[in-house]
Structure 1
């Protein structure tokens, strides 16, 4: 662009930017009908005091004192060559002494929208090339349970969440959307790899204006936007399966279920119906039974059940429902409820898992591949479900169950992290602190002094996305974006590829890692796959130089054909589902054969084993924030604008606030047996009674004092959440909900120190 403007992209939107030497000016993409305000976090972060400017090493690690890691530990500033020599020697020592399965390659894929400077790909490629592999993680914190249960029941997670019902179908065909967990716009404003047009708000408005009825089953009214004009059903937290069963029971007893669909497209319905009707356990799952559990009147449950078959109905289940104990059950039962209506595979009807959970969902898929950095082959068999990192570090050699297998936690000596902040997204942070004191060495590449960086031994300053060139792309976004460098790197920061190339040189594998290419040549190489695919179909396919000059390139989309489920409906013999039976598995013989009490062979109501108590009477909802992606750029201007007295804001219902003497803007203390944090209170009738809503992402900021469970003065809810798996099947994250007590905080208000870098010290 002219006048110093450069095209760029982020997970929350395409934009242009220019740098004046102090801050960044941002211009959202003019074609985006609803640009994300999270773009505002870029304006003041490039030279923020929280940025890491030079390599730093924990002094106690350098001097081998054996002192436990602490957030206020001393760091020594070292030159790049010296710290890289130290790190290469340490990697070689661990690999030689213990093997590649003693190295955990920790990363999460949200560091940047760029496909070359993708931290997860870079670190995994390096460890594969240098050591033949590493201990990896599988699945995600967002969808740990659904990614495992869905292939048993319907098919791949990707097919059911991203290649299924589209927003265009909903706008044109859908009469009723029953959204368990809602479809909050703050979630769909984000998409890994980038998003050039935010369409969800307008799509829901268009559908509502045409007559589509939206129902939001959630403790938070704003889990559907005002444009949807939704009916709010604030049932008790975690009781969605009971409501689904009550609806299903009414369908059966009133003869409203589609017997033909169940017979032709499903397997195991008869066994499930015995459970539904209470034939074996003596408890019919009728509307009255569901009402006692959910708090929703029985007559309303029956009325809703009668309405479901009257038109084109879509059942959606959000990520949030499965980020809790027994999280597999609502995902499975939502699919069964949709199957009973017989509309799976119809345009705008049936079942779509996690519609609205990300900007990827509800969109058409690109007709050509996007650039992707090859990671190489991992020769290490050992892995963990991603949310079990504390279990792994604290219990080396202990067996654990996962998806029908009994596995063993490896004995990790070195953790290498690039592109992620587990002290944001992991549950029970105080337990994580203990776990992170087990490895001999922790290494991190990081742009800023996150809690993870402060708890590491070797901290290498990484560039931010605006400080390097890259290519932005997502498989569901119809534009390839030239992410042009906007500003020079802060201090001595380097990009991950440069760091790993220097390490690979020291380890004798530079050629294998770089393949003789520099960053620009790698981008040209990765782009070529997309260019050739475009050219093969006769579409605009400029060379890399021309693409870079233009700043973007259109990527045609595949037809909106409904994907796997539409094909299956049209011809279930020719297009069988990738399940053992080739059909929708209402009862799974495979899962039943695992003999897991916490995940039986069909959807089942399994109450949470940590319900509210008189002492901890409130249920905490710890969902994704609206002012940042996870914890990224929490120090940015837009993120900071939402805080009160520097604290994250917790919303309470007026009834709960009044009972505790809490007013708008008060600082409150949330606590349970695992920990405590401070937050600022906001009183809102958009939160159900008995619920506290505290989003994740405020950087963990422990007060001085009790080393085992210090007070987080900033408002990170994961000091409160449980570190247990969803079930023995998936071992997913359960960090969405927990129980807490809440009181007005009247003590001296501690300062926020989360963004203050450690002061470098000299070695003894």
Structure 2
């Protein structure tokens, strides 16, 4: 076996070597709790795109809208022919329709590397060759970003929340809306050399902290934390929070002094909660009828929150649903009523457990980063509106106080992401992908996105190239040594874009005369030279590369969100119009959005004829859809399908037994999945994780025969403010499937 080499992925640092029995992967010995996702890594060499391919219809008929995408066969072609076709289409589309007709798609977690970061590479390339329409925001907490800008001024509750070192010593009560699921803390954008979230939670429990989990899923918080479990009807957290606020206000348990000094608009929020604005009073009895939590339980929880140093944690999942801005805003308001914002161990945080680094100290200095350059095209869309963009050119969308016009996209150039994983209503997305003149995809694997492309350029995986790994909430920079030779004819994105840039006359601007190794050295040394002397690594690039990693100087880990603001709101104002936390936002009010009122409000979801609530959450056995064919992910399947959890009562009512193949359906589509019965979820709820590779190979049976829940989810923005995804919650029916069972072809 070859020598094991240092490498890194979003799920952690590791060492790997190729041998006769395949790829041997060993966790980094420094990591206290290595991620089980490392078991998927050996699958990196399978289900690969081995050569450039062009869809037969594109070869025979040329560019143009074509609903054969996703059904047509792909023909292998030489690299030179494929590159000529891509460069020719980019030049043609820009000449005939303008640069805004090119959409630069790259949303995903393709690599932990700072240089071979697909989003940076594709944006840099498209920028220097003429420009492109881009996206803004993200699928993880896209609705939160505009709301937080209006309410607290920036994204500090996500990027710089109170750190675990403070919480484990000072927090007496954690109230976890949406939980702090251990599965999500396995991953971190840019890598994780030390997985510590489970250890922090355990330390808080040992120190006497109590936990309350508010989620339809019992395992959204580790069992050893011995949490009280409140299982509301999915999507009703806002009603529960308003009822908690009602108890605090009517019983005089709210902090009037903090609200006067540090908050704007409390009076409007108070009047809404008390029913003085024409609506019902938001009493625990009112909330019980909506969320299903008994009124005395709600009242007792409010009183316990007021008696303790309480941290309100708000998961990213809360805002990935209909009117998802509201539970986040209501949670912030609840923390303000308690008056503990800015106190050690109190207040709120958004996204603890969302990924590994949230709650660890954020590095106060930059990391090595590939410059993306300037995009001369101003056009952009909220990232979750990709299908609308392709289907409705010339139409407008309201977003965060602005009105955007969708350009007429003729070419989609995608690298490093899989929209047929992270987008919703895949039947609609297939229609959208049929509309452009050309779809170009860089992809290592035959994913559904590759199958819907006209030109597929085989790209390397992270294991087949050198890179530098680093993350904002991690304490090391890792040398990602190449472990494998490129599989088949795969090339890295930088090499692909360099060849395309040469054809388009922009090679010098794109490459700056550097090859891969020269870029890595340039990024490292430029970064090191710009750091203050007391934190700059002593190792030059050669020393770093030999050592395999450099540990960084991390500042004091004891950070309290808004401590300075609390101490003196005048000297340390927030970047909001009032300089304070805005419980009523006059800016949002000026937008006139009926789907996002100017203060936290309960907005009932749309009615549905389907009886069961579907939770489409992140999977425990892979990162999103990555390496779905890996051993850990494959081992979780039931008869080759993604597992769907049902409560035994719901299963019994439908004649479903553990291990049955079932069919989920609603008005948007259907999928097959393998039934797993569990009492760890609220009756009336089913849970089907995202990430099973989309398989539409037997449409007479189901839209997806593998179990991708995004054939069922709705492609609708959270509101006109955030336009975030609403894919977390849907309504469905489930039935046992007794017909012929089609094979799963997604990984073939």
| Band the TM-score falls in, shorter-chain normalisation | over 0.9
TM-aligned CA deviation for residue 590 of structure 1: 0.3
Q: What are the within-5 Å matches in structure 2 for residues 47-126 of structure 1?
A: 48=46, 50-64=47-61, 67-126=66-125
1:241 paired residue number: 238
Secondary structure of the structure 2 residue equivalent to 1:150: helix
Tell me if 1:140 matches 2:138. Answer: yes
Tell me if 1:713 matches 2:705. Answer: yes
Secondary structure of the structure 2 residue equivalent to 1:185: coil
- Do the aligned partners of 1:201 and 1:227 also contact (CA within 8 Å) in 2? no
| Further displaced range: 104-113 or 713-722 | 104-113
Tell me if 1:398 matches 2:376. Answer: no
2:369 paired residue number: 372
2:228 paired residue number: 231
Tell me if 1:748 matches 2:740. Answer: yes
Tell me if 1:339 matches 2:373. Answer: no
1:761 paired residue number: none
1:303 paired residue number: 300
- Do the aligned partners of 2:441 and 2:450 also contact (CA within 8 Å) in 1? yes
For 2:690, which of 691, 696, 704 is the aligned residue?
696
1:728 paired residue number: 720
Secondary structure of the structure 2 residue equivalent to 1:433: helix
Structure 2 Cα separation of the partners of residues 516 and 468 of structure 1: 19
TM-aligned CA deviation for residue 311 of structure 1: 1.8
2:554 paired residue number: 557
TM-aligned CA deviation for residue 229 of structure 1: 1.6
Structure 1 Cα separation of the partners of residues 563 and 614 of structure 2: 38
CA shift digits 1:313-351 (9 cap, x unpaired): 001111111000100001111000000001111122101
- Do the aligned partners of 1:109 and 1:118 also contact (CA within 8 Å) in 2? no
TM-aligned CA deviation for residue 62 of structure 1: 1.3
Structure 1 Cα separation of the partners of residues 455 and 207 of structure 2: 57
Structure 2 Cα separation of the partners of residues 80 and 622 of structure 1: 39
Structure 2 Cα separation of the partners of residues 268 and 365 of structure 1: 31
Secondary structure of the structure 2 residue equivalent to 1:261: helix
| Further displaced range: 362-371 or 575-584 | 362-371
- Do the aligned partners of 1:345 and 1:562 also contact (CA within 8 Å) in 2? no
TM-aligned CA deviation for residue 21 of structure 1: 5.2
Structure 1: gaps (5+ residues): 757-764
Structure 2 Cα separation of the partners of residues 285 and 538 of structure 1: 52
1:327 paired residue number: 324
Tell me if 1:633 matches 2:627. Answer: yes
Secondary structure of the structure 1 residue equivalent to 2:168: helix
For 2:673, which of 646, 668, 679 is the aligned residue?
679
TM-aligned CA deviation for residue 704 of structure 1: 3.4
For 2:519, which of 519, 522, 530 is the aligned residue?
522
- Do the aligned partners of 2:108 and 2:418 also contact (CA within 8 Å) in 1? no
Tell me if 1:418 matches 2:415. Answer: yes
1:609 paired residue number: 606
Structure 1 Cα separation of the partners of residues 490 and 33 of structure 2: 33
2:11 paired residue number: 12
Structure 1 Cα separation of the partners of residues 412 and 69 of structure 2: 16
Relative distance call for 1:97 and 1:693 in structure 2 (3 A) is same
Structure 1 Cα separation of the partners of residues 493 and 392 of structure 2: 31
Structure 2 Cα separation of the partners of residues 539 and 456 of structure 1: 44
TM-score by structure 2 length?
Answer: 0.98
- Do the aligned partners of 2:352 and 2:359 also contact (CA within 8 Å) in 1? yes
TM-aligned CA deviation for residue 645 of structure 1: 0.9
Structure 1 Cα separation of the partners of residues 227 and 267 of structure 2: 34
CA shift digits 1:254-298 (9 cap, x unpaired): 000000000000010001111110012141101110111111010
Structure 2 Cα separation of the partners of residues 240 and 606 of structure 1: 11
Structure 2 Cα separation of the partners of residues 539 and 407 of structure 1: 43
Secondary structure of the structure 1 residue equivalent to 2:428: helix
- Do the aligned partners of 2:528 and 2:536 also contact (CA within 8 Å) in 1? no
Structure 1 Cα separation of the partners of residues 153 and 621 of structure 2: 34
Structure 1 Cα separation of the partners of residues 4 and 111 of structure 2: 20
1:293 paired residue number: 290
Structure 2: gaps (5+ residues): none
Structure 2 Cα separation of the partners of residues 697 and 589 of structure 1: 40
Tell me if 1:462 matches 2:459. Answer: yes
Structure 2 Cα separation of the partners of residues 610 and 453 of structure 1: 36
TM-aligned CA deviation for residue 407 of structure 1: 1.4
CA shift digits 1:81-124 (9 cap, x unpaired): 11111111111000111111000000014100001000000000
- Do the aligned partners of 2:671 and 2:705 also contact (CA within 8 Å) in 1? yes
- Do the aligned partners of 2:269 and 2:599 also contact (CA within 8 Å) in 1? yes
Secondary structure of the structure 2 residue equivalent to 1:54: coil
Tell me if 1:569 matches 2:569. Answer: no
- Do the aligned partners of 2:698 and 2:742 also contact (CA within 8 Å) in 1? no
CA shift digits 1:48-103 (9 cap, x unpaired): 1x100100000101111765224231111111111111111111000111111000
Tell me if 1:195 matches 2:192. Answer: yes
For 1:209, which of 206, 223, 238 is the aligned residue?
206
Secondary structure of the structure 2 residue equivalent to 1:536: coil
- Do the aligned partners of 1:32 and 1:198 also contact (CA within 8 Å) in 2? yes
TM-aligned CA deviation for residue 360 of structure 1: 2.0
TM-aligned CA deviation for residue 139 of structure 1: 0.6
TM-score by structure 1 length?
Answer: 0.96
TM-aligned CA deviation for residue 166 of structure 1: 1.2
- Do the aligned partners of 2:344 and 2:560 also contact (CA within 8 Å) in 1? no
Task: Give aligned pairs, total.
Answer: 746
Structure 2 Cα separation of the partners of residues 228 and 382 of structure 1: 47
For 1:739, which of 705, 722, 731 is the aligned residue?
731
| Further displaced range: 57-66 or 343-352 | 57-66
- Do the aligned partners of 2:246 and 2:274 also contact (CA within 8 Å) in 1? yes
Structure 2 Cα separation of the partners of residues 22 and 630 of structure 1: 27
| Further displaced range: 344-353 or 429-438 | 344-353
- Do the aligned partners of 2:693 and 2:706 also contact (CA within 8 Å) in 1? yes
Structure 1 Cα separation of the partners of residues 535 and 485 of structure 2: 39
TM-aligned CA deviation for residue 366 of structure 1: 2.1
Structure 1 Cα separation of the partners of residues 654 and 58 of structure 2: 46
Structure 2 Cα separation of the partners of residues 559 and 415 of structure 1: 45
Structure 2 Cα separation of the partners of residues 217 and 639 of structure 1: 27
Structure 1 Cα separation of the partners of residues 166 and 128 of structure 2: 45
Q: What are the within-5 Å matches in structure 2 for residues 462-481 of structure 1?
A: 462-481=459-478
Secondary structure of the structure 1 residue equivalent to 2:43: coil
- Do the aligned partners of 1:368 and 1:555 also contact (CA within 8 Å) in 2? no
1:512 paired residue number: 509
- Do the aligned partners of 2:255 and 2:339 also contact (CA within 8 Å) in 1? yes
- Do the aligned partners of 1:368 and 1:556 also contact (CA within 8 Å) in 2? no
Relative distance call for 1:422 and 1:539 in structure 2 (3 A) is closer
Moved over 4 A (4+): none
TM-aligned CA deviation for residue 245 of structure 1: 0.3
